[in-house]
Amino acid sequence: MEKTARTDSNHTHPDLEVGREALYGLLGYPLGHSFSRTYFNNKFAQEGINAEYVNFELPAIEQLPQVLATHPQLQGFNVTIPYKQAVIAYLDDITPEAREIGAVNVVRVTRQGQDVHLNGYNSDIIGFCDSLRPMLKASHRQALVLGTGGASKAVCCGLEQLGIGWTYVSRHATSGQLTYADLTDEVMHSHTLIVNCTPLGMFPNVGTCPDIPYNRLTPDHLLYDLVYNPEPTLFMQRGAAQGATTKGGLEMLHRQAEASWQFWHGKD
């Protein structure tokens, strides 16, 4: 895939500790909600890995080439909102699974001289399936997927792998998906798994949640929230008040982070 033309804008990271053997990071904007930096730096400290993980909080994806140019020890990075789809234009290769999903959240950086080669992967599907699987019951055969962004596409692929049917729910009426106004008693009864793929409820906007009819939830429902900060989210709290089982995104974060580490080290 042809890369987007490089930009001349300068972007260096003030927290970079010079002399580290390896550098990894998180690309997104904003990043105040993210636990990835703490997770990986704790991992490096505990396992004696000579590396550092930093945040690349870029207001524009066009600054990515300059990040690569000014951080020659960068070996890989994660990608989060809002760049999981936009980053694809900068990649040299992308796995078939990530291409099918249409979103990348892991990039491996390989350097040969002045040439920089970027490989794109998606570890969201691994983290989601591994964390959801133990909670599933026979009644969880149909899911409502709230939101239609890059994370939701990975979730839908994961649901298909788990043998679960799914339907998108969006604020906007589009063929093949529901709006929040369409969530009738019948729909809620037949869809006992509800996955929040929107950023609603994410820190610092902890007082928000998807506009589903919470009064129609039952103990048969399982609510899974990709948001992990805070935990529990308002979405989870309102579901639990109706007797529903709830799960936040922290375990998914940890599992996809470990999958990222494998991708960065060439274990495809």
Active-site residues: which are they? 84
8 A C-beta contact, residue 245 and residue 222 = yes
8 A C-beta contact, residue 187 and residue 178 = yes
Residue 40, C-beta contacts closer than 8 angstroms, at least 6 positions apart: 24, 53, 257
Q: How far apart are CA 45 and CA 10, in angstroms?
A: 30
In three-state form (DSSP H/G/I as H, E/B as E, the rest C), the secondary structure along 79-100 is ECCCCCCHHHHHCCEECHHHHH
| Type of residue at 251 | E
DSSP state of 241: T
